[in-house]
Structure 1
């Protein structure tokens, strides 16, 4: 039996995961509050009204800045507040409706990273769009939900002789009980999870962000390069389109048709 083990959202692109006990999905829409916010890398000016999806290299992201993984964030959407914690216990409260507070947060992250940027990074919010890695492909892909098969992660760890934390892959849905790599053959097939129906639309190509250890904030693996060497590709996991909305909860059975 295949089951849904874990649910996550990532409110700020590149920053920490938030586990969910349940979530309501709607047809054609993505995970609620997932990648709704982002930090630009200071090389361009954000205009919400005229924004067109841009590549992840235009944002502050894990692939370039492993130290992001050392920050823990929590979004309280009702209070419109983002809480940020550093490894040394400092806490920053960001009022999302206060432009000055958002600017201070962007400066805080830049100083934490100790990196040089072309201009001041900006903390930005999506208005009718998400800052997902595949948003540049289409509006539908911008709202895709990502899935990881835990059996595949275990298998590659066994083959490589290492323990691979599944959170390196920053997926929304983590399933278990399927055979390793079987998800790669689900393209154009439908998954029923609880009362929700989703369609597999694309395999997920992996980037250098997966090399960052989410516990230590250190780049300690070269997952895409190792996958290319061993398997001839760097795809792990799949993107799903929400076909029919419903409730998702860990423990729900997953049926593939």
Structure 2
């Protein structure tokens, strides 16, 4: 079968759950609209929303350190500014555009995190044309990059370690079926087509401790970076893309690499 897009996602708030997309309109040099638009800054983090600068991910709540975040199911409605959070059977909503709503969000996360993962009361931050991507500290191009995951590579790793790896561990924007395992590692500085959208491979995805966290129970149960190094001699799984020509990508669209 030909390679095709099998999943599309965005993550409105850094470290929190994904939202499923049926299609996405991509613009040249821009990431997925609404992806990593917000982050929960630690109390000591200095972030100027009027003059945003990329900061290391450890200055925000993140799964690599606060694995309890995986227990939460979240959704965000851009039209109303409403963030909804569910922890098991308990759910609540708050308006991210109001001071009262942001205060309620900060207070929840201060209460929610267990003592060994607490960082006092975080604050919700955002800024125009800014994304809280892990690799954004390296360049403005990477701040707007889109992450793609080859599911054949995930399955190859599963076979080698004898354990199932839910793709949610890898927090990708685009999942692709039908490729050969690890072919994405050959796509640096090469163009590829997602349907009619031309992209370029700009950086392999180095995997961090966030991938150790089981998305079903929020327990660290597989040391993915360690297993990658043991099996392949590197800790890469996935690739970051930058958009060259604008267009719409949908589930089922063909994925082809150019020569």
TM-score class, shorter: over 0.9
Matching residue of 1:73: 74
> How many residues are paired up?
256
* Superposed displacement of residue 226, structure 1: 1.7
Q: Deviations over 1:43-87 (max 9, x none)?
A: 223321232110000000000011101111111111111111111
The 3 A distance-change label for structure 1 pair 118 and 8 is: closer
Rounded to whole Å, the distance in 2 between the matches of 1:253 and 1:214 is: 28
Matching residue of 1:41: 42
Q: Is 2:180 the partner of 1:176? A: no
Matching residue of 1:237: 238
Matching residue of 2:87: 86
Q: Is 2:54 the partner of 1:53? A: yes
For structure 2, the 5+ residue unaligned runs are none
Partners of 2:109 and 2:121 within 8 A in 1: no
Matching residue of 1:144: 145
Q: Deviations over 1:145-179 (max 9, x none)?
A: 00000000001001110111111000000001000
Secondary structure in structure 2 of the residue aligned to 1:72? strand
Matching residue of 1:113: 113
Partners of 1:4 and 1:176 within 8 A in 2: yes
Greater Cα shift, 233-242 or 107-116 = 107-116
For structure 1, the 5+ residue unaligned runs are none
Partners of 1:43 and 1:117 within 8 A in 2: no
The 3 A distance-change label for structure 1 pair 111 and 118 is: closer
TM-score (normalizing by structure 1):
0.97
Rounded to whole Å, the distance in 2 between the matches of 1:44 and 1:146 is: 26
Matching residue of 2:103: 103
Partners of 2:160 and 2:231 within 8 A in 1: no
Secondary structure in structure 1 of the residue aligned to 2:240? strand
Matching residue of 1:23: 24
TM-score (normalizing by structure 2):
0.96
Rounded to whole Å, the distance in 1 between the matches of 2:47 and 2:64 is: 21
Rounded to whole Å, the distance in 2 between the matches of 1:148 and 1:118 is: 31
